């Protein structure tokens, strides 16, 4: 189990579904221990639209970063050959199956929303109608109709969003949870699958441009000189016995990439060049190694790990919203444990393919205009 968990970095984004309040035929059905739970084709259609929109937001931002969502449009050419259509539709179905399992799990374990929770959902919908739709319930209903639902189905969707939280508390609460993530287990994963390091990065390709905007290439002689300088730095560190203080001084004076004081802590799956990753995981604590890539030379020193609760996750740090490695590990453990709990339910889900095959991502509407409050 620990080996399985160590491969995961959780990017947990829960998408939800609903049942029981629509007029369409069933799309998914789960019979478990004498109890039946269904999601309708209306809800199925809604989550195709939501998944399509989320996928397009990520796709567009990958090529045109920071594009306002309300200015985005569908990209029909993506769906023409059917490959992406099938991929995104399958993603939506995985999400709905998970949510259907969560609903069944709540029924079996008597997990129910409180009156206050239901009232808060009603207040939220009222605020959306009053604030986003200018107090026009008909405008709200017309917008929901684009995705095959009405106010009552939307209310069910929001209820199951909160129900997902009930399952998490039931399983993972530190004091009362059925399967809380244990610190000692996460430490085993952390110690076996993470490294901390600093590096001195020296470029062997120029970043300067001429008056026409073209990159100015270094001559062979210049590249040779740069390599000789990097080699001299490497040898100076090795002659000092890999002195960390000297390494820090040379990093400050020679590296184009100035790291945070404690360096970076990464797992094998966090996107460094494969040559760098392989070198780091083979090195011993305090070792120094030089690796040349296309365009750059990296002189790296490896350090003992700091406690995971004090260590920022590299991906979140790069994104400008740092969280600790411990938080990432906790979410990863919870994701695996949740799947383990839901698997017996998911494997019993029945698909009404006669109905679901009538739907496609290509023909699903997008939610760009309401994404700010619907996601």
pLDDT for position 6: 42
- Convert the pLDDT of each residue in 12-32 to its tens digit: 222 323 333 346 999 999 998
For residues 116-136, give the mean pLDDT: 95
- Convert the pLDDT of each residue in 230-249 to its tens digit: 999 999 999 999 999 999 99
- pLDDT greater than 90 at residue 39: yes
- pLDDT greater than 90 at residue 4: no
CA dist 71 → 67, 75, 361, 367 (Å):
7, 13, 20, 11
- Convert the pLDDT of each residue in 171-225 to its tens digit: 999 899 999 989 999 999 999 999 999 999 999 998 888 888 888 889 999 999 9
pLDDT for position 23: 66
pLDDT band at 374 (very low <50, low <70, confident <90, very high): confident
- Convert the pLDDT of each residue in 249-302 to its tens digit: 999 999 998 888 899 999 988 768 999 999 999 999 999 999 999 999 999 999
Question: pTM for this one?
Answer: 0.75
Among candidate residues 151, 124, 148, 123, the one with its CA nearest the CA of residue 137: 151
Q: How far apart are CA 238 and CA 286, in angstroms?
A: 11
- pLDDT greater than 50 at residue 11: no
- Convert the pLDDT of each residue in 304-354 to its tens digit: 999 999 999 888 887 788 899 999 999 989 999 999 999 999 999 999 999
Side by side, which strands form the sheet with 35-40? Answer: 35-40, 26-32, 350-351
What are the structural domains, with CATH classification, of the chain?
2-184+325-374 (no CATH), 194-318 (3.10.50.40)
Among candidate residues 336, 334, 314, the one with its CA nearest the CA of residue 325: 314
Length of the chain: 375
pLDDT for position 7: 41
């Amino acid at each position: 189990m620990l080996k399985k968990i160590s491969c995961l970095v959780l990017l947990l984004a829960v998408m939800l579904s609903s049942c029981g309040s629509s007029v369409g035929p069933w799309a998914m059905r789960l019979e478990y221990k004498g109890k039946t739970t269904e999601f309708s084709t209306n809800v199925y259609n809604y989550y195709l639209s939501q998944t399509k929109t989320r996928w397009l937001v990520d796709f567009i931002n990958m090529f045109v970063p920071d594009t306002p969502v309300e200015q985005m449009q569908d990209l029909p050419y993506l769906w023409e050959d059917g490959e992406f259509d099938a991929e995104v539709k399958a993603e939506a179905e995985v999400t709905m199956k998970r949510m259907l399992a969560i609903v069944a799990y709540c029924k079996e374990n008597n997990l129910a929303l409180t009156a206050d929770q239901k009232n808060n959902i009603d207040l939220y919908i009222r605020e959306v109608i009053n604030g986003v739709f200018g107090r026009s319930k008909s405008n709200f209903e017309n917008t929901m109709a684009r995705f095959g639902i009405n106010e009552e189905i939307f209310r069910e969707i929001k209820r199951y969003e909160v129900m997902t939280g009930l399952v998490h508390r039931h399983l993972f609460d530190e004091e009362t949870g059925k399967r809380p993530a244990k610190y000692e287990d996460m430490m085993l994963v952390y110690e076996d699958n993470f490294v901390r390091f600093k590096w001195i990065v020296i470029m062997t390709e120029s970043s300067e441009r001429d008056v026409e905007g073209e990159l100015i290439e270094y001559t062979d002689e210049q590249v040779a000189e740069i390599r000789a300088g990097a080699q001299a730095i490497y040898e100076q560190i090795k002659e000092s016995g890999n002195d960390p203080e000297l390494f820090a001084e040379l990093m400050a004076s020679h590296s184009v990439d100035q790291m945070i004081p404690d360096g970076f802590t990464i797992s094998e799956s966090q996107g460094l060049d494969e040559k760098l990753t392989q070198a780091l995981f083979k090195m011993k604590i305090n070792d120094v190694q030089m690796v040349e890539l296309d365009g750059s030379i990296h002189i790296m020193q490896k350090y003992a790990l700091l406690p995971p609760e004090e260590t920022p996750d590299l991906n979140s740090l790069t994104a400008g919203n740092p969280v600790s490695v411990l938080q990432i590990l906790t979410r990863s453990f919870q994701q695996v444990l949740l799947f383990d709990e839901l698997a017996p339910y998911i494997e019993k889900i029945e698909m009404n393919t006669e109905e679901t095959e009538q739907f496609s991502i290509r023909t699903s509407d997008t939610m760009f205009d309401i994404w700010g409050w619907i996601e």
